């Protein structure tokens, strides 16, 4: 069974630039999560979807961040105008609806904003 | 709201054990998970507990006391390769809230 895949693995930006992260969850997992993990901290939930619907995006900085999952499979997280404080690893995870305590994480995208 | 607290670091010796503590506060507890995260890698699920008591899974065991808002992960017969960060995550109304993680270092 293929795991969660993410791309790109690394990104380096200047402040003000835009970037998109892509995630392909495990087939059949209806729930998809995006986390931000700054260095030496735990993952912090940004947004999660059940199928194509956003369930909770209360921690997503809405003025610069956006996330979509149009067909309930792959998902894209976009930062419109990056800031140095956005430097972190962005993790995508998926789980079946009934097992949301057991999430399968992708390798992450390590973002550096200069 | 939700809060999850863990010690920053823990050192132990190969062949012995390590206990990683976690205290939490939440408005709606729906279970607690433990994840292992090696440097530069994604978290990997280890265990989930929702009922009080000790859950023995061999190399890893987990304990939960809901009334005290407390859990621990017990790693026995430590090996060098157990050196990693261990994350406690509480499942509440808004999904999983992770602690900062405890970095466990196992020495020969």
The per-residue pLDDT for A69 is: 96
Cβ-count burial A81-93 (b if 16+ within 10 Å, e if not): ebeeebbbbbbbb
pLDDT-derived band at B105, boundaries 50, 70, 90: very high
Which one of A9, A48, A56, A101 makes the best mutation probe of the B interface by having the most chain B beta carbons within 10 Å?
A101
- A8 preceded by a cis bond (ω within 30 of 0): yes
The per-residue pLDDT for B95 is: 81
Q: What is the per-residue pLDDT across A39-90, written as a single tens digit (0 to 9) for each?
A: 989 999 999 999 999 998 988 987 899 999 998 899 999 999 999 999 999 9
φ, ψ for residue B90 (rounded to 5)?
-100, 130
Which burial class, exposed, middle or buried, applies to A102 when counting CB atoms under 10 A from its CB (0-12, 13-18, 19+)?
middle
Q: Is residue A35 within 8 Å of A43, Cβ to Cβ?
A: yes
Q: What is the per-residue pLDDT across B15-41, written as a single tens digit (0 to 9) for each?
A: 999 999 999 998 888 899 999 999 889
- Give B51's strand partners: none
pLDDT higher than threshold 90 for residue B93: no
Chain A residues with CB under 8 Å of a chain B CB are 33, 40-45, 48, 56, 58, 91, 100-108
Instruction: Report the C-alpha gap between B23 and B67 in whole angstroms.
Output: 11
pLDDT-derived band at A101, boundaries 50, 70, 90: confident
The per-residue pLDDT for B1 is: 60
Q: Is residue A49 within 8 Å of A92, Cβ to Cβ?
A: no
pLDDT higher than threshold 90 for residue B46: yes
CB atoms within 10 A of CB A14: 9
* H or E element that contains A48: strand A44-50
Residues contacting residue B75 through CB under 8 Å, at least 6 positions apart: B17, B18, B19, B20, B59, B60, B82, B104
Residues contacting residue B51 through CB under 8 Å, at least 6 positions apart: B64
The per-residue pLDDT for B28 is: 85
Residue A87, min C-alpha distance to chain B (Å): 15
φ, ψ for residue A15 (rounded to 5)?
-55, 140
Looking only at the bridges linking them, the beta strands covering A31-37 and A88-95 are antiparallel
* B12 at A interface, C-beta within 8 A: no
pLDDT higher than threshold 70 for residue A110: yes
Residue B29, min C-alpha distance to chain A (Å): 12
Question: What would the DSSP string read from start to end of B39-50?
Answer: TTS--EEEEEE-
* Number of residues assigned to chain B: 108
pLDDT-derived band at A94, boundaries 50, 70, 90: very high
């Amino acid at each position: 069974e293929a795991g969660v895949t993410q791309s790109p693995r690394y990104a380096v930006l200047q402040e003000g630039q835009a970037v998109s992260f892509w995630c392909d969850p495990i087939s059949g997992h209806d729930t998809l999560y995006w986390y931000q993990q700054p260095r030496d901290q735990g993952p912090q939930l940004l947004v999660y979807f059940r199928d194509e619907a956003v369930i909770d995006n209360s921690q997503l900085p809405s003025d610069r961040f956006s996330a979509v999952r149009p067909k309930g499979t792959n998902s894209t997280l976009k930062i419109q105008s990056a800031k140095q404080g956005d430097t972190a690893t962005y993790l995508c995870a998926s789980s079946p609806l009934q097992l949301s305590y057991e999430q399968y994480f992708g390798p992450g995208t390590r973002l550096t904003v200069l | 709201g939700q809060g999850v607290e863990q010690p920053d670091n823990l050192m132990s010796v190969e062949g012995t054990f390590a206990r990683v503590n976690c205290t939490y506060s939440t408005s709606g507890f729906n279970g607690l998970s433990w994840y292992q995260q090696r440097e530069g890698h994604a978290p990997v699920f280890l265990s989930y507990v929702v009922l009080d008591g000790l859950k023995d899974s061999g190399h890893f065991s987990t304990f939960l006391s809901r009334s005290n808002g407390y859990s621990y992960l017990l790693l026995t017969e430590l090996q060098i390769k157990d050196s990693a960060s261990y994350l406690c995550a509480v499942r509440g109304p808004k999904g999983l809230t992770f602690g900062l993680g405890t970095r466990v270092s196992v020495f020969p």
